[in-house]
C-alpha cells in the first residue's frame, strides 16, 4: 500500500499521534496558566472569596483563547492584561533574553498549531513537524509558563515594596489624621 503512494495505516496513526501531542501540550499549558492566574489572584486578595469567584467566572473561565495573539510574534497582548508597566517590564525581559524569546515563540507556535487543528479540519490538516520537534517546542514553551509564574509573583512583590516606600509610616500617619 505504501509503495502505491497511498497513505498507510502507520502514516495515519503517526499523523494523528502528532496532532494529539500538540493538543495535549496546549491543553496542559491552558490549565497551568489558568491555575497560575487563579493562585495569583487568591494570593493578592488574601483568598477573598467574592473576588476570586468573580475572576474565576469572568476573567479566567473560557477566556484563555483571548489572552494571546496566537499568530503574533510576542506575548504583549497577555502582558498588557496586567497594565502598561507590567507589559513594558515583561516585554523588556523578552527583548533582552534570547532564551526567553525562544520560549515565547515556541509557546505561541504550539498555540497557533492547536488553533488550526481545532478550528479547521483536524483530520485533513497536515502537520509538518515530527514528534521530537513537537516535544522540543513543548519543553521550550514550558519555560514561558515558568516565567509567567515567576514574573507575576516577583513583579507583585516589587510593586508592593514600591508602594510601601511611597507611602511609608509617616505618610500613613498623615492619611490617618486627614492631612
Instruction: For residues 157-166, give the mean pLDDT.
Output: 54
The per-residue pLDDT for 171 is: 45
pLDDT at residue 93 tops 90: yes
The per-residue pLDDT for 8 is: 83
Comparing 123 with 148, the larger pLDDT belongs to: 148
Instruction: For residues 58-83, give the mean pLDDT.
Output: 93
pTM of the model: 0.82
Q: Say if residues 140 and 103 touch (Cβ distance below 8 Å).
A: yes
Instruction: For residues 91-97, give the mean pLDDT.
Output: 97
pLDDT class of 159 with cuts at 50, 70, 90: low
Amino acid at each position: 500500500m505504501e509503495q502505491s503512494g497511498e497513505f498507510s495505516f502507520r502514516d495515519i496513526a503517526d499523523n494523528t499521534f502528532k496532532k494529539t501531542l500538540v493538543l495535549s501540550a496546549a491543553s496542559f499549558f491552558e490549565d497551568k496558566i489558568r491555575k497560575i492566574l487563579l493562585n495569583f489572584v487568591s494570593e493578592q486578595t488574601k483568598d477573598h472569596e467574592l473576588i476570586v469567584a468573580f475572576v474565576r467566572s469572568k476573567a479566567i473561565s473560557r477566556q484563555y483563547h483571548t489572552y494571546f495573539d496566537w499568530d503574533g510574534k510576542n506575548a504583549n497582548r497577555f502582558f498588557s492584561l496586567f497594565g502598561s508597566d507590567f507589559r513594558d517590564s515583561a516585554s523588556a525581559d523578552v527583548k533582552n533574553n534570547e532564551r526567553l524569546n525562544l520560549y515565547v515563540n515556541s509557546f505561541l507556535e504550539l498555540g497557533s498549531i492547536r488553533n488550526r487543528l481545532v478550528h479547521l479540519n483536524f483530520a485533513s490538516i497536515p502537520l509538518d513537524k515530527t514528534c521530537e520537534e513537537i516535544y522540543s517546542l513543548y519543553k521550550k514553551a514550558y519555560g514561558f509558563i515558568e516565567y509567567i509564574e515567576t514574573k507575576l509573583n516577583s513583579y507583585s512583590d516589587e510593586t508592593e515594596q514600591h508602594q510601601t516606600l511611597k507611602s511609608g509610616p509617616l505618610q500613613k500617619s498623615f492619611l490617618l489624621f486627614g492631612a
